[in-house]
Amino acid sequence: GKVGRVKQLISEDGFFTSEVELEAGLMPGMPFSAKGTVITKAKFEIVGEDQWDLFIQTTQVKNSNVPFLDQLLDDFPVELPVGDLYNMARGSVPGFSFKTSYVDDTLRITRDVD
């Protein structure tokens, strides 16, 4: 698969939105690939000077090139409540830790913490 444009929005109300354009082959050897933008929303908590914890809330797909699916998703946008599903299945939403370093006013590097 291929990753295209990536956009991240950080809001003051504690939400982090990630938009990633993806292209993935449906089956090996077939010339057709599925394309779309995956939009994931997460709550975040600042836990240190350069560290955040993210908790996934919802995921949805927009701008799909799959016939019929593209129009269906545009007419009836669906946000999959990933956070609620995790909460029901496991009793909690898993968190992910990230550390951010700022190179300058326009560039930041964010890494997951293992």
Quick check: 54 and 47 in contact, CB under 8 A? no
Three-state SS at 78: coil
Instruction: Give the span between the Cα atoms of 48 and 100, in whole angstroms.
Output: 10
Question: In this predicted model, what pLDDT tens digit does every residue of 43-99 receive, in sequence order?
Answer: 999 898 889 999 999 999 888 887 777 777 777 778 889 899 988 999 988 888 989
Mean per-residue pLDDT, 12-39: 84
Sheet holding 108-112, edge to edge: 2-10, 15-25, 33-46, 51-62, 95-102, 108-112
Average pLDDT of the residues in 90-111? 89
Give the pLDDT of residue 103. Answer: 92
Three-state secondary structure call for residue 15: strand
- Name the maximum alpha-carbon separation found in the chain: 48
The angle formed by the CA atoms of residues 6, 9 and 15, to the nearest 5 degrees, is: 130
Q: What is the pLDDT of residue 71?
A: 75
- Judged against a pLDDT cut of 90, whether residue 24 lies above it is answered with no
Per-residue pLDDT at 40 exceeds 80:
yes
Taking all residues of the chain, what is their mean pLDDT, rounded to a whole number?
86
Give me the pLDDT at residue 1, please.
76
For residue 62, the cross-strand partners are 37
Query: Looking at the whole model, is its pTM more than 0.85?
Result: no
Amino acid of residue 29: G
Residue 24 near residue 38 (C-beta atoms within 8 A): no
